A and B are shown apart, each in its own frame.
Chain A
Amino acid sequence: MGVIKAVNLSKWYGNVLGISEVSVDINKGVVGLLGPNGAGKSTFLKILAGMLKPNLGKIMIKGKNILKDRELYKIIGYCPETDSFYMEMTGFEFIFSLLKLYGFSKNESKILAEAAIEKVGLIARMNDSVTTYSLGMRQRLKFAQSIAHEPEIMIFDEPLRGIDPLWKSKLIDLIKEFKENGKTIIVSSHILPEIESITENIILIHQGKIFAEGNIHYIRDLIDTHPHMISIISKDNRELASVLIKENFVSDISFKEKKIIVKTDNRELFYNHFMRYIAENNIEIFELTSPDDNLQAVFDYLVGAKR
């Protein structure tokens, strides 16, 4: 049996479905919970952490029902998605006070709080009010409160949101270090590269259901092979479209507002040719984006493919 075992979990809020018939076994190591916004990731994580009661199904942590044994909360660390704090406190007081709620003594709480704050690089600012922190600092503080009591199970809901690249990389290394120390970690995100940099083991969630689980290469392959959309705004859209449509790797071109939407079956080839073309012909490009790089598009494609 896994460290965490979810059996047929279903949760709805009135008529709105949160998650539906989710069953999963999670073992030691890092699992990435991947899904677009509104997929049910946070609901699933809150149920795992024992903060929401499922309407159907049960959740077992180390063989025990979390809703019937509050002591299990001591071995779980939860980093919420929301940017919420007790704003009347300093960073240190925030972590220290929450540690006291686990039953630690003053002295233990002080040592653990400082250690956690040091891990997220906030020692120099720990005595400043939380109100003076930037979004990235608040994210790191929130992360610190979830690891401060050194839990066996760590649940991070979108932990890297709003964090600068340097600290993103440091937190990823920290998560990997926890994995090496035998922790069970679940990290949610709607950004594929973020999860890719943390783990290969993923659970795909979409519209409240577990869509797939296993190795991340599975989804990466699907992304690389499915038709890819690229949105371009140039000085002369019509001229550019007339050139691109002649290429074999372009399967379709359409116009949307001031943009050209190009559909390609081989995005690597497209980018190679496109970059060379604009450089050689000195074409002015104002915007080049790929709407398909977000998970929603990937999931839409996967759901379509499964039907």
Chain B
Amino acid sequence: MSFIKGLKEIYLLFIKIGIRKKRTILLTLLSFTPVLLLLIAKIIEITKPHSSISASHLYSNIIVAFYIQFIIGILSIFYGSSVIDEEVEGKTLIYLFSKPISKSSIILGKFLSYISIIVITIMSGLIISFIIAYINAYISHKIIIMFFKYMIASFFAIMAYTSLFTMLATFFKRTAIVGLLFIFGWESIINYMPGKTQKLTIIHYVKSLIPQTAVNRNFLLFHLEPSSALTAIIVLSLISIISLIIGIWVFKYKEYII
């Protein structure tokens, strides 16, 4: 079977499997928590017009605090590591290895299907959050650009983290633990160090892509010394591509216990 056909069949198979997993339901619920928070804020804003709470004001903080710094990381850890881990632990790799499909198609097809699930989950959360936040507000050209910047930053964050954890899963067992340490250890600590050290984290480049509003600059990005958007895109793309190439190569040549 050709590489592309194999890729397509594996992609379709794991989309079907992926969306039915209990994990998907739980992570989707988790990723809609910010939507719920914004909805509460919007209800308060509408019912108590003189209240200091404004959903549109909260939007930036919620996107950064929940999606960029937390939910994307969690989803990437669980889906990225599952590309390999669940096949090895569930002993289902045998069904894939006995088919006329190249190993590259298997790992890449499954990776793409899980990436699609994360992208759809996160993007729908972002879109719904945006609609809730700005439903009764004037949407300027600036706000639209801000929204698209969040979408782009989220996309690159998903790609970089998920590729990285997929690659790590080809080397190690139980990559989720390594992933959690990476996201909530390394990324969280180094990210807040001043100077060039923060450039050793993925989150630095992701934050470099998001709008530097007065709100998030004072609150969450206090120490950020952003790289240029172009540099951030190049670095995040390189992390994604190199991680995937290494992951595919290891998966192709490593012998898994099947």
B-binding residues in A (CB < 8 A): 13, 46, 49-53, 70-74, 76, 78, 80, 82, 84-86, 88-89, 93, 97-98, 100-103, 145
Interface residues of B (CB under 8 A from A): 1, 5-6, 9-10, 12-13, 16-17, 20-21, 90-92, 94-102, 255, 257-258
| CA–CA, A101 and B255, complex, Å | 21
| A102-B90 contact in complex given A86-B17, A93-B16, A97-B13, C-beta closer than 8 Å | no
Task: Determine if A82 and B91 form an interchain contact, defined as CB atoms under 8 angstroms apart.
Answer: yes
- Measured between alpha carbons, how far is A13 from B258 in the docked complex, in Å? 12
Query: Inside 8 A of A73's CB, which chain B residues have their CB?
Result: 98-100
- Chain B hits for A93, CB < 8 A: 16
Which listed residue (B21, B95, B97, B255) contacts A98, Cβ 8 A? B95
A16 to B102, CA, bound (A): 28
Residues of chain A within 8 A (CB-CB) of B92 are 84-86
Q: Can you add 4 more A-B contacts, CB < 8 Å, to A51-B97, A80-B94, A86-B92?
A: A71-B100, A97-B13, A97-B16, A101-B99
Closest approach, in angstroms, between the C-beta of A93 and any C-beta of chain B? Answer: 7
B94 touches A102 (CB 8 A): no
Q: What's the nearest-Cβ distance from chain B to residue A137, in Å?
A: 17
Q: What CA separation (Å) do A44 and B147 show in the bound complex?
A: 57
Contacts of B12 in A (CB 8 A): 100
**B100 and A70 contact, CB distance less than 8 A:** yes
Q: Measured between alpha carbons, how far is A145 from B21 in the docked complex, in Å?
A: 22
Tell me, in angstroms, the Cα distance from A210 to B160 when the chains sit together.
49
B258 and A46 form a contact (CB under 8 A)? yes
- Contact between chains at B94 and A51 (CB < 8 Å): yes
Please name all residues of chain B whose beta carbon is closer than 8 Å to the beta carbon of A82 when the two chains form the complex: 91, 94
A-B CB contact pairs (8 Å), 25 listed: A13-B257, A46-B94, A49-B98, A50-B97, A51-B94, A51-B98, A52-B258, A53-B255, A70-B101, A73-B99, A78-B94, A78-B98, A84-B94, A85-B92, A86-B90, A88-B20, A89-B16, A97-B13, A98-B95, A98-B99, A100-B13, A101-B96, A103-B1, A103-B5, A145-B95
Task: Give the shortest distance, in Å, between A19 (CB) and chain B (any CB).
Answer: 15
Q: Which of B9, B90, B98 has the most CB of A within 10 A?
A: B98
> What is the chain B residue whose CB lies nearest that of A129?
B20
Query: Which B residues are in CB contact (< 8 Å) with A85?
Result: 92
A84-B98 in contact (CB<8A) = no
Other-chain contact of A76, B10, B17, B98 (Cβ < 8 Å): B98
Does A100 lie within 8 Å of B97, measured CB to CB? no
Instruction: Report the 4 A-B pairs with minimum CB-CB distance, sorted nearest first.
Output: A84-B91, A88-B20, A73-B100, A101-B99
Given A89-B17, A97-B16, residue A84 in contact with residue B90 (CB < 8 A): yes
Please, how many angstroms separate the alpha-carbon atoms of A93 and B13 in the complex?
Answer: 10
Smallest CB-CB separation from B10: which chain A residue? Answer: A101
Determine whether the beta carbon of A101 is less than 8 Å from that of B9.
Answer: yes
Instruction: Name the residue of chain B whose CB is nearest to the CB of A49.
Output: B98
Determine whether the beta carbon of A88 is less than 8 Å from that of B98.
no
Q: How far is the CA of A262 from the CA of B61 in the complex (A)?
A: 80
Q: From A46, which residue of chain B is reached at the shortest CB distance?
A: B258
In the bound complex, CA of A93 to CA of B12 (Å):
12
Q: Please name all residues of chain B whose beta carbon is closer than 8 Å to the beta carbon of A46 when the two chains form the complex.
A: 94, 258
Give the complex CA separation of A86 and B91 in angstroms.
10
Which residues of chain A are within 8 angstroms of B101 by Cβ–Cβ distance? 70, 101
* Chain B residues near A80 (CB-CB < 8 A): 91, 94-95
Q: How far is the CA of A101 from the CA of B109 in the complex (A)?
A: 12
- How far apart are the CA atoms of A76 and B99 in the complex, in Å? 9
CB of B105, distance to nearest CB on chain A (Å)? 10
Bound-state CA distance A54–B10 (Å) is: 27
Which chain B residue shows the least CB distance to A11?
B255
Q: Shortest Cβ distance from B20 into chain A, in angstroms?
A: 4
Contact A70:B255 (CB < 8 A) given known A84-B91, A93-B16, A101-B10? no
Given A76-B98, A80-B94, A102-B100, do A88 and B17 touch, yes or no (CB 8 Å)? yes
Q: Which of B10, B90, B102 is most buried by chain A, counting CB atoms within 10 A of its CB? A: B90
Residues of A within 8 A of B91 (CB): 80, 82, 84
A-side contacts of B258, CB under 8 Å: 46, 51-52
Which of B17, B94, B101, B255 has the largest count of A CB atoms less than 10 A from its CB?
B94
Q: How far is the CA of A50 from the CA of B98 in the complex (A)?
A: 7
Inter-chain CA distance A241–B67, complex, in Å, is: 77
CB of B153 to closest CB in A, whole Å: 32
User: Of all chain A residues, which has the CB nearest B86?
Assistant: A86
Nearest Cβ in chain A — how far from B109, in angstroms? 10
**Smallest distance from the beta carbon of B100 to chain A beta carbons, Å?**
4
Q: Smallest Cβ distance from A32 to chain B, in angstroms?
A: 21
Closest to B1 in A: A103
> Cα distance A80–B12 when bound, in Å?
23
Measured in the bound complex, the distance between the Cα atoms of B96 and A103 in whole Å is 13
